[in-house]
Amino acid sequence: MTLRIAIDAMGGDNFPSPNIKAALELVNEESIEIVLVGKKDLLKKNLPDSFPESISIVHAPEMVDMNESPTAVFRKKKEASINVAMNLMFNGRVDAVVSAGNTGAAMASATFTLGRLQGITRPAIPILIPGIHGRTVMIDAGANVDCKPNHLLEFAVMGKYYAKLIMGKEDPTIALLNIGEEESKGDNLTVSAYRLLEGNLEGFIGNVEGHQIITGEQDVVVCDGFIGNVLLKFIEGIVSGLVGMFFDRQNERDNEILKQISYKFEYDETGGAPLLGVNGVVIISHGKSNSKAIKNAVLLAKQLIEHDINRRISMEMEKMVI
């Protein structure tokens, strides 16, 4: 069966060009159908006069500003491209949605339109962080700020299956982000979550501290979205700051090192991050995504569908004792 994936063509800082370019390249390289969702006239104007039959357009007359309230977009802009795209998936007309638009609006639209997977109360965003011993999946990276212990258990299960898919880890190791490695360390949330993870997950290896995300050997690090997002932005700032402080782009040797660093951290290599826990496949891309990033986001969506990750997560959650 040929997969049909919707791209929010009005999403991203430079819409619709990267989305259209990605669609044209994808249908030429993959056995896949792309549905571009957005203003029909604008999309046709930017597409070739004769574009492939495997690309179709679904008209969505409304647009979403990057600063708009997510819930307001869902309630008041029913014909916004992100809402139209989510309804296409809800009605079975597409298999996944990719958007580089307003992240909050995409999350709200996905959660309210598609609903949650069985056993999941809080969808979460996993992010891949490069480290000395390979990549680590950090979850949640910003979808949830006020969490309970059972939410962290849900994140751990979702992170486990994402690590299996993305990193090929048969039995991923899972750690809880904390201020110390001892079981008794942390606030009420992490102490209670420790007991839940220890009692439910065979791959749980205990607490890790912040520096171990880069230097440790764990495959998945679990935290609430507030801490995860702060940590993610801090890592991005450190990388950018160190590059500016210690490397000279005019120096050939430094420039080669910079290319290697950039390759590990560039968002266009992964394309985006999935919103795990919703009853569908949704990839959220960076607002500055180029066509390469959008292409990789679509290919990530294809992987998630083929891996049947949602069914695996739901089956695992049925075994949990909370």
What is the pLDDT, as a whole number, of residue 152?
98
What is the pLDDT, as a whole number, of residue 92?
98
What is the pLDDT, as a whole number, of residue 263?
57
Give the strand pairing for 126-131 and 134-139.
Answer: antiparallel
* C-alpha separations of 306 from 95, 165, 171, 312 in Å: 11, 10, 19, 12
What is the pLDDT, as a whole number, of residue 271?
84
Distance between CA atoms of residues 120 and 10, nearest Å: 30
- DSSP for 3-61 reads EEEEEETT-STTTTHHHHHHHHHHHHHSSEEEEEEE-HHHHHHHS-SS--TTEEEEE--
What is the pLDDT, as a whole number, of residue 1?
79
* C-alpha separations of 280 from 1, 94, 155 in Å: 17, 10, 17
Per-residue pLDDT of 158-176, as tens digits, reads 999 999 999 999 999 999 9
Q: Are 156 and 204 within 8 A, CB to CB? A: yes
Structural domains in the chain plus CATH codes: 1-121+275-308 (3.40.718.10), 124-267 (3.40.718.10)
What is the pLDDT, as a whole number, of residue 62?
97
What is the pLDDT, as a whole number, of residue 264?
60
Tell whether pTM > 0.85: yes
- Name the DSSP letter for residue 274: E
- 3-class state of residue 271 by DSSP: coil
List, run by run, the mean pLDDT of 10-residue segments along the chain (322 residues): 96 96 97 98 96 97 92 95 98 98 96 96 95 93 94 98 93 97 94 97 96 93 96 83 69 66 63 96 94 96 96 94 78
Distance between CA atoms of residues 174 and 289, nearest Å: 30
